[in-house]
Structure 1
Amino acid sequence: MSSPFSTVIESAQTDASLTLNHTCIRVKDPKVSVPFYTEKLGMTLLGQKDFPDMKFSLYFLAFPRPDFPKNSEGKVEVFSMPGVLELTHNWGTESDPEFSVSNGNTEPHRGYGHVCLTTKDIDACCAVFESKDVTFKKRLVDGRQKDIAFILDPDGYWIEVCGYKYDQLDANTHDLRLNHTMLRIKDPAKSLPFYENVLGMRVLEKSVHENGKFTLYFLAYGALKAGEQKRSTQGLLELTHNWGTESDPDFAYHNGNDAPQGYGHVCISLDDPEAMCKEIEAKYGDDIKWAPKYNQGKMKGLAFIRDPDNYSIEIVPRALQL
């Protein structure tokens, strides 16, 4: 069956302000997870937002950069840039010895795969992680792929580590970027039209792996800038298709929001999300699953939309403040 999004109705989203802003994962204990990301990985805590009525807190992190966008008051505009990680803590989980998140990589709850960090010098970067007692799922010397590693955060989420080419070493050798987020998809013939035609992303690269029987699709907003490499940028989405899943009517990936919970969503931001949501609704009608529609949930000024695999995508204004 073809995708309802295969045919572009008028035009796909082309707003130049569109950004793949952040990835949200749930954590058991922020007193453990936040120091892991700041002290061991070197990220900066951009801000924290507490919601006492709903009993949860959000922590927003990013790798340091000299050009963090700031508003007129000098505050970082967290939602106007790519490469942000959101940690969600539901109060009380840290005190429950039986609680654990689903990392998305364990059967029967596979779906979300990982976020990926990229660096100019992967050998030096991994050596730093070793010195800080970071747990490795895969070291560079393990397996066939000698140019990537995987580390684990305190909740068991996988974090890929890759290198990118550079002309020469400089003072910022361990320059890390939050490069991409990986999600497994059942059927690219349905998922790709959704991300391209409904959300306005574009496929930068398709990588076919016949030996492993899978295909990778890397998507982003806009083209790479002159001299920019896929691995040296931020705000990419990697969709992984394991061949054959599209032919199994009973097959479905775990979306991270059904029990057991773990992965939450990716978030796109733009200047006028309300206009975008109205346009999507007008073009695609009941083919779109909202949860909730723009400005109709407990948290105002945003919306959540579901992709063909039932993963959530948040849509927010770039000017949103913590």
Structure 2
Amino acid sequence: MYQHLVFCVLLLISLIDLSTAARSSPPDNVLEWVQNDDRRFLRANIRVGDLDRTIKFYTEFLGMKILSRKEFPEANFSTAVIGFGSEDTQFILGLTQYRMFDTAVGKLELGTAFSHFGITTQDIYTMVEKIRAAGGVITREPGPVTPGGTTIYAFVNDPDGYSFELLLRPPTPEPLNHMCLNVVDIDRSIDFYERALGMKLLLPTFNNTEEQYTVAMVGYGTNYTQTVVIELKYNFNVTEYTKGNGYAQVAIGTDDVYKSSAAAVKQVVQELGGKIIRPPGPIPFLGSKITAFLDSDGFETVLVDNDDYAKYLKKD
């Protein structure tokens, strides 16, 4: 348990830019290799103001379960892993609460760049009423996306202000089904995630001229209702967002962090912007190989070796 929790913490904190010996020169078709890599969304890591309060909200009102929890009193922070199912099959959330603020951590600020998480439910009306009865914030009442439409959704806020979109759908393999990021150039962002991360555009780009935004869903697989996706959102005429220090990063599994980062990501970053902030290589004393980079909008992605991740889950 200790090793796996340290592994989680290393994903939650800012990763140090360490030099790593590169492997042999990557093949010319590395971007084609990315499209065929075995990738899966592992977790999103966020910072919270009160871990107990957040866990209560996510378990009692959103239906999640506590998968692990650990206190680090000597470092004044606590962590928890929470989700709808096992870490080896589902997308989950990693939570961190800092007990003491200092100049490096500062007060929790969500910023405007991260938009929301998405959760599917079979009883959206009951869920919304439970949240309302407990004093929760409902920012959008349940209703169709368009007048007369069949897709029913609502928006609620957790105690820290993180927004959750609730979607009325039949049971799916991934109830925590998407995260939405605000971007300034949606075509560039789609290009980045397709080429650097091997994702696919799962639905045609949707323009909502009335509410002044455009969205695109990218991810792995073929059916956006049965898998996890990243929703990229362009708000008309908005050219800048604040990152804050709440949302940290998304972690994705890969068969080879060296091909993924040293070759594929490096090539795409040079063309579209972004930055490799942790070259591919093993984490000291844990032996897990990872790499980390920023996309063209400054959002962080951590790629984790699939075999290493599976070994740490078994150790728990």
Amino acid at match of 1:81: T
| Cα distance, 1:185 vs structure 2 | 0.4
- The residue number in structure 1 matching 2:257 is 273
Q: 1:197 to 1:285 in 2, by over 3 A?
A: closer
Q: For 1:98-117, what aligned pairs fall within 5 Å after superposition?
A: 100-104=107-111, 110-117=112-119
CA contact (8 A) 2:31 2:196 kept: no
- The residue number in structure 2 matching 1:89 is 97
- The residue number in structure 2 matching 1:237 is 230
Q: Distance in 2 between matches of 1:112 and 1:147?
A: 22
Q: 1:111 to 1:285 in 2, by over 3 A?
A: closer
- The residue number in structure 2 matching 1:71 is none
- Determine whether 1:311 maps to 2:299: yes
- The residue number in structure 2 matching 1:211 is 210
Q: 1:22 to 1:255 in 2, by over 3 A?
A: same
Superposition misfits of 4+ residues, deviation over 4 angstroms = 49-55, 141-146, 284-288, 296-300
Q: For 1:111-150, what aligned pairs fall within 5 Å after superposition?
A: 111-140=113-142, 147-150=152-155
CA contact (8 A) 2:196 2:260 kept: no
Q: For 1:142-181, what aligned pairs fall within 5 Å after superposition?
A: 147-164=152-169, 166=170, 177-181=175-179
- The residue number in structure 1 matching 2:60 is 39
- The residue number in structure 1 matching 2:5 is none
Q: Distance in 1 between matches of 2:30 and 2:38?
A: 21
The alignment partner of 1:140 has SS state of: strand
Q: How many pairs were matched up?
A: 271
Which segment is superposed worse, 273-282 or 50-59? 50-59
- The residue number in structure 2 matching 1:202 is 200
Q: Between Structure 1 and Structure 2, which shows a larger proportion of helix residues? A: 2
CA deviations over 1:20-52 (Å, ceiling 9, x no partner) = 222221101112111221222221111235566
Q: 1:134 to 1:212 in 2, by over 3 A?
A: closer
Unaligned 5+ segments in structure 1 are: 1-7, 69-77, 105-109, 167-171, 225-229, 246-250
Task: Give identity over the alignment, percent.
Answer: 25
- The residue number in structure 2 matching 1:301 is 289
CA contact (8 A) 1:253 1:309 kept: no
Aligned-pair RMSD on alpha carbons? 3.3
**Length-normalised TM-score, structure 1:** 0.72
**Length-normalised TM-score, structure 2:** 0.74
Amino acid at match of 1:315: L
Q: 1:176 to 1:275 in 2, by over 3 A?
A: closer
- The residue number in structure 1 matching 2:46 is 25
- The residue number in structure 2 matching 1:222 is 221
Amino acid at match of 2:197: L
Q: Distance in 2 between matches of 1:156 and 1:46?
A: 23
Q: For 1:65-80, what aligned pairs fall within 5 Å after superposition?
A: 68=86, 78=87, 80=88
Amino acid at match of 1:153: D
The alignment partner of 2:194 has SS state of: helix
Q: 1:51 to 1:22 in 2, by over 3 A?
A: same
Q: Distance in 2 between matches of 1:283 and 1:91?
A: 40
